[in-house]
């Protein structure tokens, strides 16, 4: 059974949340999912869902594209819940030019995660180096970190791996253009990678363009097994173990 370490069931893209929750609850190939918050509203909704559905865990945080007038103090209360396993997704995104604001939110949220002894889930859109600079210059995540949907770069990978940080593979690795991701997938250590769908976004091949859902995690596992000359079962077992090591509250 697989763990989808990053998805958004209460995304505005899905207008039938109940249907997608049931699909996961009834799918015997899925052990659990982490339903990731993007702002305070979606974080609260995520907690409600995970309190009602044992396969669901939550992550709470403010995504860099949604930082406007969000009260970060609320995160202390939200994260103080047995179903909340991480702070995220937080990070930097270069499609908006409010970089200084984004950095302030990221730094503050890493500090909160450290105070709460929680790992963080990083969103980095063409900003790996800038996120790493924040780790080096301001504050390092003390209780673990994963770069979700990792944008491949061997130098960044080296830094992350040497600090015991994780990377996560999503649908992108199944694309024909994913040469660099495949290079990264070949060399990342067994104990430092996760899998995710990021559903309802970025569907894997052969379903590109369709609404993504957690059952599609199988395409990502298959690709990793092929690239790492491993078996489906082994990739599933390794990534389960890794997810439970990073997100300790899942145990
Ligand atoms: Zn996401």
The answer to whether 191 and 242 are in contact (CB under 8 A) is yes
Phi-psi region of 198 (alpha: psi -120 to 50; beta: other; left: phi over 0): left
Averaged pLDDT, 90-112: 97
- Give the per-residue pLDDT at 13: 67
- Residue 130 belongs to domain with CATH number: 3.20.20.140
- Residues 143-200 have pLDDT tens digits of 999 999 999 999 999 999 999 999 999 999 999 999 999 999 999 999 999 999 999 9
- Give the per-residue pLDDT at 17: 86
From the CA of 57, how far away is ligand 1's center (Å)? 14
Confidence of residue 11 (pLDDT cuts 50, 70, 90): confident
From the CA of 169, how far away is ligand 1's center (Å)? 12
- How many CB atoms sit inside 10 A of residue 28's CB? 6
From the CA of 36, how far away is ligand 1's center (Å)? 6
Residue 69 class from Cβ within 10 Å (0-12 exposed, 13-18 middle, 19+ buried)?
Answer: exposed
Averaged pLDDT, 99-107: 96
- Residues 201-224 have pLDDT tens digits of 999 999 998 999 999 999 999 999
Asked if the model's pLDDT at residue 101 lies above 70, the reply is yes
- Residues 75-95 have pLDDT tens digits of 999 999 999 999 999 999 999
User: Residue 231 is encoded by which pair of tokens?
Assistant: 């078996």
Domain that holds residue 116: 2-250
- Give the per-residue pLDDT at 155: 97
From the CA of 225, how far away is ligand 1's center (Å)? 23
The answer to whether 49 and 21 are in contact (CB under 8 A) is yes
Helices (H), the chain: 17-25, 40-52, 74-79, 99-115, 128-137, 154-162, 179-187, 217-227, 232-246
- Residues 12-66 have pLDDT tens digits of 666 788 999 999 999 999 999 999 999 999 999 999 999 999 999 999 999 999 9
From the CA of 89, how far away is ligand 1's center (Å)? 7
From the CA of 8, how far away is ligand 1's center (Å)? 7
Distance CA 237, CA 1 (A): 8
Q: Which residues neighbour 85 within 8 Å (Cβ) at sequence distance 6 or greater?
A: 34, 57, 58, 59, 118, 119, 247, 248, 249, 250
From the CA of 6, how far away is ligand 1's center (Å)? 6
- Give the per-residue pLDDT at 12: 65
**The model's pTM:** 0.97
From the CA of 226, how far away is ligand 1's center (Å)? 25
From the CA of 217, how far away is ligand 1's center (Å)? 14
User: Residue 67 is encoded by which pair of tokens?
Assistant: 């930082």
Q: Which residues neighbour 150 within 8 Å (Cβ) at sequence distance 6 or greater?
A: 157, 167, 168, 169, 181, 184
The answer to whether 156 and 181 are in contact (CB under 8 A) is no
Distance CA 246, CA 157 (A): 17
Asked if the model's pLDDT at residue 104 lies above 90, the reply is yes
From the CA of 11, how far away is ligand 1's center (Å)? 10
Q: Which residues neighbour 178 within 8 Å (Cβ) at sequence distance 6 or greater?
A: 172
Number of domains in the chain: 1
Distance CA 204, CA 206 (A): 6
């Amino acid at each position: 059974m697989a763990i989808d370490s990053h998805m958004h069931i209460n995304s505005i893209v899905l207008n039938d949340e109940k249907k997608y929750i049931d699909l996961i609850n009834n799918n015997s190939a899925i052990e659990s999912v982490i339903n990731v918050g993007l702002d305070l509203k979606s974080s609260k909704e995520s907690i409600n869902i995970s309190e009602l559905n044992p396969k669901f865990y939550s992550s709470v945080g403010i995504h860099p594209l949604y930082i406007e007038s969000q009260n970060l103090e609320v995160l202390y209360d939200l994260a103080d819940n047995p179903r909340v396993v991480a702070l995220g997704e937080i990070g930097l995104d270069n499609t908006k030019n409010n970089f200084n604001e984004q950095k302030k939110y990221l730094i503050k949220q890493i500090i909160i995660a450290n105070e709460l002894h929680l790992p963080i889930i990083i969103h980095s859109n063409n900003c790996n180096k800038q996120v790493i600079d924040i780790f080096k210059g301001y504050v390092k995540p003390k209780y673990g970190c994963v770069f979700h949907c990792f944008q491949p770069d061997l130098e960044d990978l080296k830094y992350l791996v040497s600090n015991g940080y994780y990377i996560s593979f999503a649908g992108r690795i199944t694309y024909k253009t994913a040469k660099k991701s495949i290079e990264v997938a070949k060399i990342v250590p067994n104990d430092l990678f996760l899998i995710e769908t990021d559903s309802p976004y970025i569907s894997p091949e052969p379903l590109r363009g369709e609404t993504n859902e957690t059952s599609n995690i199988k395409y990502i596992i298959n690709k990793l097994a092929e690239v790492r000359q491993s078996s489906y079962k082994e990739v599933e077992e390794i990534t389960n173990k890794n997810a439970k090591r990073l997100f300790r509250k899942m145990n």
